[in-house]
Structures are given as structure tokens and as C-alpha cells.
């Protein structure tokens, strides 16, 4: 099996039946990354970009690609990590991040649920083992990432969502009948630091291949609380469909992007309790904090 350049292939893109060698696959990934940024007008010269880094393969590859791009497009990069308070998981991934940012000479700041919300995910689960911790974790993480980006004076917040994540989000919104959230996927509010997803057109599999081929370290541990998570089911469903019908994930995204622009009902205002952006009088993070009896 040879790449079109004649070298030995290491990867087959099933949908198109095209083989790639390490150099061509890496180049293709970098091109897709830059094309997405340029098409979405995601970055400008001298931006300060907060890069959300969890230590997993997506965010470590994102940080590597952003650093590489900063050699062509001058910008300031600050890696920001959210520590949810999950012992044996996040503390280990933070170890991997510390080494990586040091080697790449990138500033790094960590923001914890404990300092910000006076909770840890471990304590939430300990107090109520039936709690849907992924909901709490997702809401608090989104709120804290936005806050972190503001605190480091970032003009953009880059996150490592890949093509698979995008397809899953679209399908989950369809399954929930949540048109408002679907509309929000494509929009940005002035109350938030602009969130950019430069890897949203790169399949998860190619991100892992890129990490391996470019010796990018990442933490591949599994969150101990993620077993009861709707996204997991949608992920499995999409992977099964992709195996049987190659191109399914891209088609889900393509379908969504072809829809007429969805109008988001309601306006984004400030939460009456914490002042963070919210589509209701009280934001989701404060609503959940009330539920678990803190602050």
C-alpha cells in the first residue's frame, strides 16, 4: 500500500479510499487546520489566544498546531487548564501538560472548580453517587474556561473539538429536540470570549495518527465518571454507522451546515447571581450550584 507520493502508507482514509504516508498525512492535517481557521476568519495577527488544554490527544495536538502556526501568524498563546477535581485522572493529565508546555515554552495557567465554585467532581459524586456528573462538569467547565480566557486577557479561546465531537453534538441536539442549542453551535455572543474550533473538520482518528507521527505526548486515561454518559452512546452509534456507511459523520455535519441559519430565540444577558453570560436570569452553573447546595 503506497501513498500517492510513492512512500509506504500508514493510514487509509476509508471514505475516499486514499492512502497516506506519515509526511502527507501530517501535511494534510496541518492544511485542514489552517484552512478551517482562514475560512472561519478565526484568528487575526497579534491575537492573544487562550488554548484550552486538558492533556488529551485533541488539546495537545491543538497546542502543537497553534504553536506551529504562531511561527507564521504572530500571536500570543496561553495554555489554560480546568481542574475539575477528579483524583487519578485530571492530576495525571496536568502532569503531562506541564512537561509539554515547558518543552514548547508556552505560558500555562490552571483554574480549578475548587477555587472557583468551592466544589470538586469527586465530592459531588461522593455525596450523591447517582448524580449526572458529566452535566455538572460540562457546564462548570464551559463557564470556567470563558472566565479563564477573560482573566488572561485572551481575544480568542481555542478548543480542541474534532469532527467526531461536532457530529456527536449535532446528533445529540437532534435527539434532545434542542434547536436553540443547535443554533448556538454556530454562533458566538459578545459576552463570551470568541470560542474557535480549528480542528472541527479533522477526524478524531487522524488527530491520534498526527500525535503518534509527530511524537506529541498525550494522556489517554479514562475519566472514572464517564461510563454513564449520553455522548458515549452517540459516539458508539456514530462509529458503528461510520463503519457500515463510510462518510456518515461528515454527512451529519454537512447536513447541519446546509440548514438555513437557525435563529436563536432569546438574548444572552448577564446572570443575576454571578454576572457570567446566560440565556436565563440565572445561569446554568449557578442553578446547578444551588442544587448541590454551595455558594
Partner 1 sequence: MKVKINDNSIEVDKDSNVFDALKAAKINPETVLVKRNNKLIPHDAALKDNDHIQTVTVISGG
Q: Which is nearer to partner 1, 228 or 243 (CB)?
A: 243
Question: Is residue 54 near partner 1 by the rule CB under 8 A?
Answer: yes
Question: Is residue 239 near partner 1 by the rule CB under 8 A?
Answer: yes
Question: Is residue 56 near partner 1 by the rule CB under 8 A?
Answer: yes
8 A C-beta contact, residue 279 and residue 268: yes
* DSSP codes, the chain: -B-TTSSBP-EEETTTTEEE-HHHHHHHHHHHHHHHHHHTT---TT-EEEEE--SSHHHHHHHHHHHHHHTTS--EEEEEEEE---TTTHHHHHHHHHHHHHHHT-EEEEEEHHHHHS--HHHHHHH-TTS-HHHHHHHHHHHHHHHHHHHTT-SEEE----HHHHHHHHHHHHHHT-HHHHHHHH---TTSPEEE-TTTTS-HHHHHHHHHHTT--------TTTTS-HHHHHHHHHHHHHHHSTTHHHHHHHHHHHSPPPPPPS--EE-TTT--EESSSS-HHHHHHHHTT--
Q: How far is the CB of 242 from partner 1 (least distance, A)?
A: 5
Q: How far is the CB of 232 from partner 1 (least distance, A)?
A: 9
Q: How far is the CB of 188 from partner 1 (least distance, A)?
A: 24
Question: Is residue 216 near partner 1 by the rule CB under 8 A?
Answer: no
Q: Which is nearer to partner 1, 11 or 117 (CB)?
A: 11
Question: Is residue 221 near partner 1 by the rule CB under 8 A?
Answer: yes
Q: How far is the CB of 185 from partner 1 (least distance, A)?
A: 18
Question: Is residue 186 near partner 1 by the rule CB under 8 A?
Answer: no
- Cβ neighbors of 1 (< 8 A, separation 6 or more) are 8, 9, 12, 19
For partner 1, the binding residue among 194, 205, 216, 287 (CB under 8 A) is 205
Q: Which is nearer to partner 1, 217 or 221 (CB)?
A: 221
Question: How many chain residues touch partner 1 (CB under 8 A)?
Answer: 30
Question: Is residue 208 near partner 1 by the rule CB under 8 A?
Answer: yes
Question: Is residue 201 near partner 1 by the rule CB under 8 A?
Answer: no
Q: Considering only the stretches 42-50, 69-77, 221-229, 271-279, report the one whose residues sit in contact with partner 1 under the rule CB under 8 A.
A: 221-229
Question: Is residue 19 near partner 1 by the rule CB under 8 A?
Answer: yes
Question: Is residue 198 near partner 1 by the rule CB under 8 A?
Answer: no
Residue numbers of the site for partner 1 (CB under 8 A)?
A: 1, 9-12, 14, 19, 22, 54, 56-58, 164-165, 204-205, 208-209, 212-213, 220-223, 226, 235, 239-240, 242-243
Amino acid at each position: 500500500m503506497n501513498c500517492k507520493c510513492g512512500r509506504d502508507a500508514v493510514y487509509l482514509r476509508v471514505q475516499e479510499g486514499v492512502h497516506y504516508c506519515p509526511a502527507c498525512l501530517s501535511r494534510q492535517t496541518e492544511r485542514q487546520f489552517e484552512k478551517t481557521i482562514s475560512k472561519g476568519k478565526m484568528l487575526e495577527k497579534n491575537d492573544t489566544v487562550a488554548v484550552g488544554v486538558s492533556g488529551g490527544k485533541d488539546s495537545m495536538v491543538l497546542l502543537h498546531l497553534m504553536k506551529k502556526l504562531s511561527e507564521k501568524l504572530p500571536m500570543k498563546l496561553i495554555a489554560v487548564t480546568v481542574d475539575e477535581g477528579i483524583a487519578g485522572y485530571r492530576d495525571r493529565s496536568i502532569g503531562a501538560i506541564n512537561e509539554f508546555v515547558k518543552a514548547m515554552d508556552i505560558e500555562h495557567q490552571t483554574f480549578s472548580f475548587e477555587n472557583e465554585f468551592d466544589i470538586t467532581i469527586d465530592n459531588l459524586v461522593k455525596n450523591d453517587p447517582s448524580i449526572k456528573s458529566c452535566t455538572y462538569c460540562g457546564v462548570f467547565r464551559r463557564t470556567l474556561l470563558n472566565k479563564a480566557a477573560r482573566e488572561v486577557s485572551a481575544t480568542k479561546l481555542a478548543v480542541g473539538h474534532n469532527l467526531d465531537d461536532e457530529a456527536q453534538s449535532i446528533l445529540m441536539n437532534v435527539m434532545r429536540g434542542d434547536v436553540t442549542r443547535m443554533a448556538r453551535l454556530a454562533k458566538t455572543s459578545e459576552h463570551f470570549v470568541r470560542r474557535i474550533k480549528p480542528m472541527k473538520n479533522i477526524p478524531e482518528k487522524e488527530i491520534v495518527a498526527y500525535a503518534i507521527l509527530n511524537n506529541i505526548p498525550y494522556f489517554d486515561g479514562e475519566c472514572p465518571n464517564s461510563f454513564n454518559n449520553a455522548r458515549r452512546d452517540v459516539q458508539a452509534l456514530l462509529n458503528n454507522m461510520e463503519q457500515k456507511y463510510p462518510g456518515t459523520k461528515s454527512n451529519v455535519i454537512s447536513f447541519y451546515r446546509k440548514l438555513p441559519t437557525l435563529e436563536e430565540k432569546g438574548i444572552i444577558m448577564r446572570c443575576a447571581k454571578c454576572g457570567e453570560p446566560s440565556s436565563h436570569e440565572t445561569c446554568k452553573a449557578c442553578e446547578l450550584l444551588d442544587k448541590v447546595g454551595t455558594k
